[in-house]
Amino acid sequence: MALIGNKEYYKGIGEIKYEGKDSDNPLAFKYYDSERVVAGKTMREHLKFAVAYWHTFCGVGADPFGPGTQNFPWDQPTDAMDAAKEKADAAFEFITKMGFDYFCFHDFDLIREGTTLGESEKRLSAIVDFIAEKKAASGVKLLWGTANCFSNPRYMNGAATNPDFNVLARAGGQIKLAMDATIALEGENYVFWGGREGYMSLLNTDMKRELDHMGRFLGLARDYARSQGFKGTFFIEPKPMEPMKHQYDFDAATVIGFLHQYGLQDDFKLNLEVNHATLASHTMQHEMAVAAAHGMLGSVDANRGDYQNGWDTDQFPNNINEVTEAMLIFLKAGGLRGGGINFDAKIRRNSTDMDDVFHAHIGGADIFARALLIADRIITSSAYDELIAKRYSSFDSGKGKDFEQGKLSLSALYDIALENGELSLQSGKQELFENIINQYI
Ligand code: XUL
Ligand code: CO
């Protein structure tokens, strides 16, 4: 295939193609057949796979106990612009070889941060021009951009919720530039992940004031992007903790309440991440159902946690039962509102070959494609929908329908209860539902 840059970084690996589940080729899709139509849309249109710039091209496998193990040629140049260009060349080579349509970035994934805001602005605008050309040449699109307002030590007490106004203003300046970059690259959405928006100790924290600041700050960011012609959706990405002891964007339900409290509900939706859901003691399915119930199922950061570890391990997804249940909610909600499936996942520290990120993304794409097919068959061929409808059928007519239509008072419920006498038990049939999932897998 034609190379977009001058060098080939992922040597010996060609375009990844669909070969079907009987293929023994590890560098082929077994289920992700991009042009196959499922439930009225191609897999490509449903899933909108995105590569996360930070994990795949910036993360080198460092952990709290040791340095990185993955040495990327694009990290060698000492000049920031040279390194950023090489990284972009590698990124676009990888994304096009995968056959994916999208990527996502933080501002300083694209290029190293400058020593001043002004210097960072110059760097960002130069790399954005370079990437805009690569985008145009390859057809790869930007699913969302975001600002890293959590790594630099200045944000140790938060960005929009920092007790020091000058840090908040600095975050505002940085987010303006990240939004400019997202708009210049025709980003379809813009994400806020409040990594340090929360507290380490309540003893030194005025929670109400910090929440008010965050609400006002997000409103200013929205107004700025809209004034620059941005038509996309803003997403908040919930996470309950890590790095802070407690983060304000705890989970989907908390964020939805916050958005309504501060008048942001019409412009913002949710970007839900699997490992964030499990850190909040929820399943991903729970988080997706909460968001869908409020019309706010915006986008997905796909990964998985570890059942034995209580931290954000960001592994690639591979559990077919879980992803099938998630895709059932996805299909029933009519898909995502503006977003896609972004692999916010990293290969393990001891995965050190250049082909390992290919295996990781192939596996991720295949599990979602397979789950999409299964979920569609469950909806179209099994008794699943009928069984749920049956559980609620007492609300379809008579007094149940009157209740749903707001026609009954509490006293009316009392009269009905008196007249009914004792009730027979209605089984929830959970095991039968579980068997249907298993049968279609
Ligand atoms: C952190 C996380 C971030 C966001 C973007 O846990 O998920 O990478 O997705 O800032
Ligand atoms: Co994420």
Q: pLDDT digits over 237-290, tens only?
A: 999 999 999 999 999 999 999 999 999 999 999 999 999 999 999 999 999 999
Does the reported pTM lie above 0.85?
yes
Is residue 191 located within the same domain as residue 243?
yes
What is the whole-number distance in angstroms between the Cα of residue 409 and the centre of ligand 2? 45
Mean of per-residue pLDDT scores for the chain:
97
**Structural domain includes residue 105:** yes
Domain residues for the domain of 427 are 394-440
Domain count, the chain: 2
Ligand 2 ion: Cβ-proximal residues, 5 Å cutoff? 273, 301, 344
Determine phi and psi for 81, rounding to 5 degrees.
-70, -40
Is residue 113 located within the same domain as residue 240?
yes
According to the model, what pLDDT value does residue 1 have? Answer: 43
| Per-residue pLDDT tens digits for 402-431 | 999 999 999 999 999 999 999 999 999 999
**Structural domain includes residue 227:** yes
Q: Which of 104, 146, 271, 284 to mutate to test the pocket of ligand 1 (most atoms within 8 A of CB)?
A: 146
C-alpha torsion sign, points 73, 77, 78, 80: negative
**Structural domain includes residue 162:** yes
Is residue 68 located within the same domain as residue 172?
yes
How far, in Å, are 73, 140, 144, 178, 364 from residue 32 at the CA level? 30, 18, 23, 32, 10
Report which of 110, 174, 175 is spatially closest to residue 142, judged by C-alpha positions: 110
Is residue 401 located within the same domain as residue 371?
no
Ligand 1 pocket, 301 CB below 6 A? yes
| Per-residue pLDDT tens digits for 200-214 | 999 999 999 999 999
Closest ligand 1 atom number to CA of residue 239: 6
Confidence tier at 310 by pLDDT (50, 70, 90): confident
Is residue 263 located within the same domain as residue 205?
yes
For a pLDDT cut of 70, what percent of the chain falls above it? 99
Is residue 295 located within the same domain as residue 420?
no
Is residue 404 located within the same domain as residue 322?
no
Is residue 419 located within the same domain as residue 312?
no
Is residue 302 located within the same domain as residue 427?
no
CATH of residue 153's domain is: 3.20.20.150
Task: Enter the tokens of residue 99.
Answer: 């056959």
pLDDT above 80 (res 3): no
Question: Average of pLDDT values for 91-117?
Answer: 98
Starting from the CA of residue 300, give the closest ligand: 2
**Structural domain includes residue 25:** yes
User: Annotated catalytic sites, by residue?
Assistant: 106, 109
Ligand 1 pocket, 273 CB below 6 A? yes
Question: Average of pLDDT values for 303-322?
Answer: 95
**Structural domain includes residue 12:** no
According to the model, what pLDDT value does residue 5 have? Answer: 54
**Structural domain includes residue 39:** yes
Is residue 180 located within the same domain as residue 273?
yes
**Which residue's CA is the closest to the ligand 1 atom numbered 3?**
193
Q: How many CB atoms lie within 10 A of CB 227?
A: 8
Is residue 337 located within the same domain as residue 402?
no
Is residue 337 located within the same domain as residue 409?
no
